[in-house]
Amino acid sequence: MKHASSLSRRAFLRSSALTGGGLLISFSWIPALAAGAAGVAGLSADDATSIQLNGYLKIGSDGSITIMSPNPEGGQNVKTGMPMIVAEELDVDWHKVLIEQAGLNTKYYTRQFIGGSQAIRQSWLVLRMAGASARHLLRMAAAQAWNLPLEEITTFAGVLHHAPTGKSAHYGSMAAAAAKLDIPPDVKLKNKQDFTLIGSSQKNVDGLKIVTGQPLFGSDIQRKGMLIGMIVHPPAFGMKLKSIDDSAARKMPGIADVFPIQSMRDDFERQFFDTCSFPEVVAIVGKSTWEVMNAKKALKIVWEPFTEHHFKRSAFGSKQVVTVPAGLENTSQHQSRLETALRQPAKIVRKDGDPDLAFKQAAKVIERTFTAPFLAHNCMEPMNFFADVSGDKAELVGPLQKPELTEQTLSARLGIPIENIDIQMSRLGGGFGRRSYAHWLLEAALMSQKVKAPVKLIYTREDDMTAGIYRPAYIATYRAALDADNNLLAFHVKAGGIPESPLEANRFPAGAVEHYLAEEFTVNTNLTTGSFRAPRSNFIAAAEQAFLDEIAEACGKDPIDFRLALLDRAANKPVGRQNDYDPNRYAGVLELVREKSGWGQSTAGVHRGVSAYFCHNSYVAEVLDLIMEKGKPVVQRVCCAVDCGIVVNPDAAINLAEGSIVDGIGTALYGRLTVRDGRPEQQNFNAYRMIRHSEAPKSIDVHFVKNGIDPTGMGEPPYPPVFGALANALYKATGKRLYHQPFMNGEAGKPSRL
């Protein structure tokens, strides 16, 4: 495989920037590549321009290899996987490579963030080209130094060889010369079948540091003269700051200052991830965490209701005016609003055939409504960030999913040129979308700017859980029309949420049913919501897959056979042209999970549920086995089949699937956040029920489809299907179908839904 020089020149920047000689290659993918330059390696222009991630590598004159990982590491193992791709094409000994976390650098990188399970997918070609181009330059340098033909120079494990003469040299000895060469017209990539590192399981590069407690996380940061900052935000959504009496707190030991801060001014045009529940909070800064926590209790703050207001927002160039309604909301009110909206006319997103006529002529109509509540992210490490703002310069360090998208907001708010802002990324102690919204970074920077000292801001668990940003609350009604022979004639979904719709109108079973209708609506709120692991899919997959099982039962068909028959129709006689899934790949994971799970084999007392879903460019099918003990479900096994293309690091991919499955089971059974008069009722883990170690599946086995397709998403796709598989297994166990999450009430002393 070769890549044209026009792409290479635009994709790479080089400089001999290593002290003592060496080679530094940085690479970026220009988002606005012309179609002519993008049409390489069988990629369409759209495919090429969608890849925006970047990174760089250093080759020392001593032969050392350092590969920078540009994206934040949040436990998904990109700090291992992304450098593996570079190392594969560079042809070096992985066990001798050093891996470093890169800081934010928009000069070199684009899409330097994590989210949507796109890190590996969108960087795949760029990372390969980085390694391959460096290797090619080194071979050119060796060929010139030895006065030999380039095609006779080979490499192995970081060493250049010329077999006929026996000449050899490590990469470092040719690095300085290579840095002076122009990138050639064509860069040859490895054939995928020749991969030796990609596809092999490698240990997490931070594993030893994690288990030995070495500093990696934002909470670990310590700097000379550093103060500790905390915030107090309004106790309820719908309220704002009125006045502060800080006289008692200021007299307490170790307290440096107390003051209000406004992270986002009223007239500021917010960017997409500038979601902020409480733009004005009270900051308290002191010498130690304990002293600041005690002083917080001494503050006397008066809050007052706010009136309806608006703010400007730019959603990736789309200008919006967002309305924030007044009032102290309640969970019962949310449910009522959703149910009312469900009965009203909604926006038609897709319509195939004549669904109205099909439902009128149906011999049987099945209709079911599914709901899911607000959810808190509850990352293991609460929000935190270090900031040192001095004059017209700012240094920030901490866990952040989208630093590239936060830098501009930070520059505007501090009044500091963007080139004078340095954001370094620590390892995330959990993200799941929560750390995409960085208002706490602004709060830390404003504290440091005010007190003229470095500050580490720390949220308590209660601060984090009660300040948003939540998974939206959702509702969906599904209808199916059957003829007299129990064949599926029409399918209708009407879905909405607070404040967004979960609908994915062009996903399965769209394209597989002759008469299909999809509608959506939204209901506004002053609770702030945002990305949550597998956004929207985490609800709509559960509802859809549970409903498909119910249809299959009504049709008298096996659940897997029923889905495969629909997918066969989508593959061979599709309805519509907007279908966003590949029915053959979708069917492939169902067939694989049927084989690996032993579907069709029954064991006394074991109840099985199946589910399959497509999201984040990948396909996952799961079969869940459970038993009932003292009226409670015990998950014995989950068999998971995944089609995510080439698996870069199998162990890491298996870990992601296992984590998704455990997390999904816990959320489906217990996850729920409720509000009363605007106040979140669950403020810590004593009230917000999470899955416990003993409740995790006794075994999880993960199987991958091997098709050689370029990698797609892996961090999120295994999460949505497990909700439906669990619901379907619980139905088999109890005879009761479950339409409302959570399936079990996590509050002590209250009855279970089961």
Buried b (16+ CB within 10 A) or exposed e, 204-218: bbbeeeeeeeeebbb
**Band (112; pLDDT cuts 50, 70, 90):** confident
Residue 747: per-residue pLDDT:
45
Closest by CA to 35, choosing from 62, 15, 6, 60, is 6
Cis peptide preceding 627, ω within 30 of 0: no
**Band (2; pLDDT cuts 50, 70, 90):** low
Q: How far apart are CA 738 and CA 741, in angstroms?
A: 8
Residue 33: per-residue pLDDT:
23
For the chain, the structural domain boundaries read 2-198, 221-310+377-466, 340-374+470-734
Residue 26: per-residue pLDDT:
59
**Band (34; pLDDT cuts 50, 70, 90):** very low
**Band (4; pLDDT cuts 50, 70, 90):** very low
Q: Taking 60 as the threshold, does the pLDDT of residue 228 lie above it?
A: yes
User: For 501-536, how does the pLDDT look when each residue is reduced to its tens digit (9 = 90+)?
Assistant: 999 999 999 999 999 999 999 999 999 999 999 999
Q: How far apart are CA 266 and CA 348, in angstroms?
A: 35
CATH 3.30.365.10 given to domain 2-198: yes
The total of other beta-carbon atoms located within 10 Å of residue 443's CB is 28
The total of other beta-carbon atoms located within 10 Å of residue 46's CB is 9
The CATH class, in words, for 340-374+470-734 is alpha beta
Q: Under DSSP, is residue 555 helix (H, G, I), strand (E, B) or coil?
A: helix
Q: Which CATH number fits domain 221-310+377-466: 3.40.50.10310, 3.30.460.10, 3.30.365.10, 3.30.428.10?
A: 3.30.365.10
Look at phi and psi of residue 483 and say left if phi exceeds 0, alpha if psi is from -120 to 50, else beta: beta
Q: How far apart are CA 379 and CA 4, in angstroms?
A: 44
Residue 20: per-residue pLDDT:
47
Q: How far apart are CA 455 and CA 397, in angstroms?
A: 11
Residue 180: per-residue pLDDT:
85
Residue 21: per-residue pLDDT:
58
User: For 684-719, how does the pLDDT look when each residue is reduced to its tens digit (9 = 90+)?
Assistant: 999 999 999 999 999 999 999 999 999 999 999 999
Distances (CA, A) of 222 to 40, 103, 295, 455: 47, 18, 22, 10
Residue 162: phi and psi, rounded to 5, are -130, 100
Question: Where do we find the tokens 């980085």?
Answer: 130
340-374+470-734 matches 221-310+377-466 in CATH topology: yes
Question: Where do we find the tokens 């001999």?
Answer: 16
The CB-side HSE value for 114 (13 A sphere, CA atoms) comes to 31
Closest by CA to 590, choosing from 651, 656, 545, is 545
Question: Where do we find the tokens 């009660």?
Answer: 466
Share of the chain above pLDDT 70, in %: 92
Q: How far apart are CA 128 and CA 633, in angstroms?
A: 46
AA letter at 728: N
Lowest mean pLDDT among 87-101, 183-197, 458-472: 183-197
Q: How far apart are CA 395 and CA 388, in angstroms?
A: 5
DSSP result, 636-705: EEEEEEEE-SS-S-HHHHHHHHHHHHHHHHHHHHH--B-EETTEES--STTTS----GGGS-SEEEEEE-
**Band (39; pLDDT cuts 50, 70, 90):** very low
User: For 635-673, how does the pLDDT look when each residue is reduced to its tens digit (9 = 90+)?
Assistant: 999 999 999 999 999 999 999 999 999 999 999 999 999
Per the model's pLDDT, the better-predicted residue between 99 and 106 turns out to be 99
Closest by CA to 340, choosing from 475, 217, 218, is 475
- Quick one: average pLDDT of 342-357? 98
What DSSP character marks residue 416? -
Q: Under DSSP, is residue 737 helix (H, G, I), strand (E, B) or coil?
A: coil
